[in-house]
Amino acid sequence: MATDVTGSRQQPGRFSDRVGYLLKQVDSVLRARMDDVLRPLGLTVPQYACLELLGAEPGLSGAELARGAFVSRQAMNLVVKGLQDRDLITRPDTAPSGRSRPIELTPAGDTLLRTAAARVIQVETIMVSLLSDRRLQQLRSGLESCVTALENLPQRPPNSGTVPGA
């Protein structure tokens, strides 16, 4: 068995059985299904994420939206521009204070968000439909633990500069 940087044991095996690979596979399929239900609304997943973030916390900056949607600032600038052009969000021409220009949903943006969210929730419900309530809670807890462990990982793990067998 291989030992990871925290000292716990990791079962060797097929690449497709690794947790990281399975997470990426879920991410890929979830993203495709979200694209399928959002496309008829004229939304991309990053645009939907932007609307969701603003629905939860109006007044976020473009940089805050980028972090929350897991995209670069440059990509978020394009998302914001597209949503502004469709009158789904508003952003003042000048910052009320400092450099940040707070972004908010328009009534049309709020309406579209509600429709989009209902569709995404249906996809997520289907995704976890084979799990019992107990297993779903265990999954959530396990994923939260994975996030915490990775956030606490040093920027450069031990021996990250060496390649075995090189």
pLDDT digits (tens, 9 = 90+) for 6-49: 555 556 678 888 899 999 999 999 999 999 999 999 999 999 99
pLDDT at 3: 46
The answer as to CATH 3.40.50.300 being correct for domain 21-151 is no
Q: Which of 3-17, 83-97, 107-121 has the lowest mean pLDDT?
A: 3-17
- Residue 145: pLDDT band (50, 70, 90) is very high
> Per-residue pLDDT averaged across 134-138, rounded?
98
pLDDT digits (tens, 9 = 90+) for 59-68: 999 999 999 9
**Which residue blocks in the chain are alpha helix, DSSP H?**
19-38, 45-56, 62-69, 73-85, 107-127, 133-151
pLDDT at 92: 84
- Give the domain ranges of the chain: 21-151
Q: How far apart are CA 79 and CA 90, in angstroms?
A: 13
- Pull the structure tokens for residue 25: 């596979």
Q: Which of 89, 97, 87, 83 shows the shortest CA–CA distance to 58?
A: 89
Q: Can you give the length of the chain in residues?
A: 166
Q: Mean pLDDT across the chain, nearest whole number?
A: 89
Q: How far apart are CA 80 and CA 117, in angstroms?
A: 18
Q: How far apart are CA 116 and CA 156, in angstroms?
A: 39
